[in-house]
Chain A
């Protein structure tokens, strides 16, 4: 049994808590939140051991690992405390608000050989995993362009301000929606090296951007465009997609459907010359407990397995999430 504690029982935190609560190899030893209402609910109905003070929780419950799902502005100090206490950490995305803070945490965690993970759940979606596999096999030949997109209906009218509308607290579309897509590109192709021209547009928000458009160049010289808008109500929920164009063909993939066009089939099993379409149903592994999507259970399961030493800690590490933080900084700078 892995002893796990959770900090921050908001939207993502409570979903993580439910998945952890149902996980056969996890004992949830504590939950820490500042809201009395949430704590009352969770201790009354879920019989969770709830705290408002993180240090008290660590001392009393001695977790092996902690899931951090608080607003991004608190990540640095909380994660630092956790690393100092020598516990493994799963943090929600984005990782940190500055690359300086992130770098310190990456080095600390690596020095202490702790397991680290950040909640970029797209990496656990079967279609995107297959895109990565095909790219690594060289199925597309020389890739020369990508289009990375994400759209959804988060801010679709002018509304009251929350931490999401405060850039210094981690609000805005760049840190929220766009970070997912940047992280995916970084994982499938290479980390971002330069943001050449970026547009951060406010649609309904006054203080943060609702849309991000940018031209990016990656460390392996592949370039492409990023197009993200969380004020797009033509999508029922967040829809992320990636298009890759190479000398031997093209891949268009979202979370549900993978379309591959190959000029020549150079031994890519299951893919003929011309178009091949595959669906998430062909590419998804079963999970033991399902909530909101297989990827959410799969990412926590992977974290628990990594903590138990059953899998290597190679997906969504602090280091890979830090590359995404760096890209976010570059995009912001190139927009000014």
Chain B
């Protein structure tokens, strides 16, 4: 994985501290061309990996990337699935079974319900695989070396102790997409225990890691200890702690932590992208000295 990954929150009005800012972003990125321009700004700073949710609009971005193979030669996408709000709203309206019927492709669910056949454990894993395939359709022909499970889903299964599903996802993306599985979580230490219990070693885990301990469940200390003493390929996200820390101080903190393979950030303006990249390079070099 590259040291710096570019995220997509700003494109889809995800702002953890201000509804006003998220509305402004929603207006700014109304056109796909605005998203592409910002991605190109990030590429100009040497960031060639775009980590994004499987939001409907990403399909358009993928079309643009596919249409210019020369320009996007080294461009990679790390899909993060599912786009949770799509399913959350569907579950509110249709229930869990209704949502599966709506989104699982083909007649699989239909025959399952109609026949009233007994469920076997294999069927749940097949549903998961079909949902992954449905989400992956839009990335056809684009390099996707790491495929992530979104935190709402990862953490839901984590709490339910359905670790086998997490492991099944890990194995399936390897088999079908020749990709590594990544897991986004707000509970890094607990998730690492769960994955290791399934025989998954040195997993890719993307989590909130920041100087103020924002969304670091159980506390910052246990995260620092985990990073120091355990085998994990961590991606730090929310490094600015939702805006609570000055960018320099925030980046200095994550750059000095062990085992942080990548830093994920998103920004709407060219200046902010440049600034963040410069800060990361600056503190990385200091660290190496």
**Do A and B belong to a common assembly?**
yes
Q: How far is the CB of A241 from chain B (nearest CB, A)?
A: 7
B22 touches which of A155, A236, A288 (Cβ 8 Å) = A236
Q: How far is the CB of A23 from chain B (nearest CB, A)?
A: 9
| Contact (Cβ within 8 A) A21 B242 | no
- Interface digits, A16-41 against B, CB 8 Å rule (1 contact, 0 not)? 01111110000000000001111011
B159 touches which of A10, A22, A164, A280 (Cβ 8 Å) = A22
Q: Indicate whether A162 reaches chain B with its CB closer than 8 angstroms.
A: yes
| Contact (Cβ within 8 A) B16 A286 | no
- Interface digits, A158-183 against B, CB 8 Å rule (1 contact, 0 not)? 01101010000000000000000000
| Contact (Cβ within 8 A) B164 A288 | no
| B97 contact set on A, CB distance < 8 A | 35, 37
| Contact (Cβ within 8 A) B19 A279 | no
The chain B residue with its CB closest to the CB of A284 is: B214
| Contact (Cβ within 8 A) B159 A289 | yes
A-B contact count (CB 8 A): 134
With known contacts A11-B88, A21-B160, A22-B159, A286–B121 Cβ distance under 8 A = no
With known contacts A279-B243, A289-B190, A44–B124 Cβ distance under 8 A = yes
| Contact (Cβ within 8 A) A155 B119 | no
| B119 contact set on A, CB distance < 8 A | 36-37, 40-41
Interface size on B, residues (CB 8 A): 53
| Contact (Cβ within 8 A) B19 A239 | yes
| Contact (Cβ within 8 A) B152 A164 | no
The chain B residue with its CB closest to the CB of A297 is: B217
| A241 contact set on B, CB distance < 8 A | 19
Give complex CA distance A162, B89 in Å.
13
Q: How far is the CB of A180 from chain B (nearest CB, A)?
A: 14
| Contact (Cβ within 8 A) A279 B244 | yes
| B264 contact set on A, CB distance < 8 A | none
The chain A residue with its CB closest to the CB of B124 is: A41
The listed residue with most A CB atoms (<10 A of its CB), out of B88, B89, B119, is B89
Q: Indicate whether B82 reaches chain A with its CB closer than 8 angstroms.
A: no
A154 touches which of B12, B89, B186, B243 (Cβ 8 Å) = B89
| Contact (Cβ within 8 A) B160 A18 | yes
The chain B residue with its CB closest to the CB of A11 is: B91
| Contact (Cβ within 8 A) B164 A45 | yes
B121 touches which of A18, A19, A44 (Cβ 8 Å) = A44
**Interface range for A:** 35 or more
Q: Indicate whether A287 reaches chain B with its CB closer than 8 angstroms.
A: yes
The listed residue with most A CB atoms (<10 A of its CB), out of B12, B98, B186, is B186
Q: Indicate whether B216 reaches chain A with its CB closer than 8 angstroms.
A: yes
Which B12-56 residues have a C-beta within 8 angstroms of A? Answer: 12-20, 22-23, 26
Give complex CA distance A1, B18 in Å.
39
Which B215-249 residues have a C-beta within 8 angstroms of A? Answer: 215-219, 241-244
Q: Indicate whether A92 reaches chain B with its CB closer than 8 angstroms.
A: no
| A279 contact set on B, CB distance < 8 A | 17-18, 242-244
The chain B residue with its CB closest to the CB of A233 is: B89
Q: How far is the CB of B45 from chain A (nearest CB, A)?
A: 27
A256 touches which of B13, B19, B96, B187 (Cβ 8 Å) = B19
The chain B residue with its CB closest to the CB of A176 is: B92
| Contact (Cβ within 8 A) A159 B93 | yes
Q: How far is the CB of A289 from chain B (nearest CB, A)?
A: 6
A288 touches which of B155, B161, B217 (Cβ 8 Å) = B217
| Contact (Cβ within 8 A) B124 A45 | yes
Q: How far is the CB of A281 from chain B (nearest CB, A)?
A: 4
With known contacts A18-B159, A45-B165, A236-B85, A38–B96 Cβ distance under 8 A = yes
Q: Indicate whether B1 reaches chain A with its CB closer than 8 angstroms.
A: no
| Contact (Cβ within 8 A) A282 B93 | no
Give complex CA distance A149, B219 in Å.
33
| Contact (Cβ within 8 A) B155 A290 | yes
Q: How far is the CB of A273 from chain B (nearest CB, A)?
A: 23
| Contact (Cβ within 8 A) B152 A292 | yes
| A18 contact set on B, CB distance < 8 A | 155-160
Give complex CA distance A281, B216 in Å.
12
| B14 contact set on A, CB distance < 8 A | 236
Q: How far is the CB of A293 from chain B (nearest CB, A)?
A: 10
Q: Indicate whether B69 reaches chain A with its CB closer than 8 angstroms.
A: no
Further 18 A-B residue pairs, CB within 8 A, beyond A41-B124, A41-B162, A289-B159 = A37-B96, A40-B119, A45-B124, A45-B157, A46-B161, A47-B161, A154-B89, A160-B94, A236-B22, A237-B88, A257-B18, A279-B17, A281-B241, A281-B243, A286-B213, A289-B190, A291-B159, A291-B186
- What are the 10 A-B residue pairs with the smallest beta carbon separation, nearest first? A18-B159, A45-B162, A290-B186, A281-B244, A22-B159, A281-B242, A279-B17, A46-B160, A290-B217, A11-B91
The 13 sampled A-B contact pairs (Cβ below 8 Å) are A11-B91, A41-B119, A41-B162, A45-B157, A153-B89, A154-B92, A236-B12, A254-B19, A281-B214, A281-B241, A281-B244, A290-B215, A291-B152
